[in-house]
Amino acid sequence: MKKTSKSKDRIDHNNDLRAEYRFDYKKAKPNRFASRAAKAPLVVMLDSDVSKVFRTPDSVNAALRALIKAVPSAKKPRKALVSSKRG
C-alpha cells in the first residue's frame, strides 16, 4: 500500500494563530447598531406544524399570554436583587 502525503493545497490554520493578541482599545468605536438590537423583537423559530396554526406574531403572543394566565404560578417572579448598605 502506498503512503499518501499531506496535500500541498491544504492549509494549516493553527499556525496562523498567535499565542496572545494585544488590542488598542483607544481606537475602539461604540457599536452603532446596539440601539437597533435593543429595540428589535426576539426571534423564535416555530416548528412547521405550529406555524400552520399560528400564522401571525399576534396570534402566537395571544396564545402564550392566555397560557401564562391559565397556568398557576407556584412562585412569584423574582425581582432584581439590589445591594444596599444599611448602617
Closest CA to 51 of 42, 59, 62, 43: 59
35/43 Cα distance (integer angstroms): 17
Helices (H), the chain: 34-39, 48-53, 57-70
The reported pLDDT for the residue numbered 82 is: 58
Per-residue pLDDT tens digits of the chain, which is 87 residues long: 566 655 555 555 567 888 888 888 998 999 888 888 777 777 889 999 999 999 998 999 999 999 999 988 766 666 666 555 554
**What integer pLDDT is reported at residue 87 of this predicted model?**
46
Distance CA 11, CA 9 (A): 6
Residue-level pLDDT at 83: 55
Instruction: Give the pLDDT of residue 69.
Output: 92
For the whole model, what pTM was predicted?
0.40
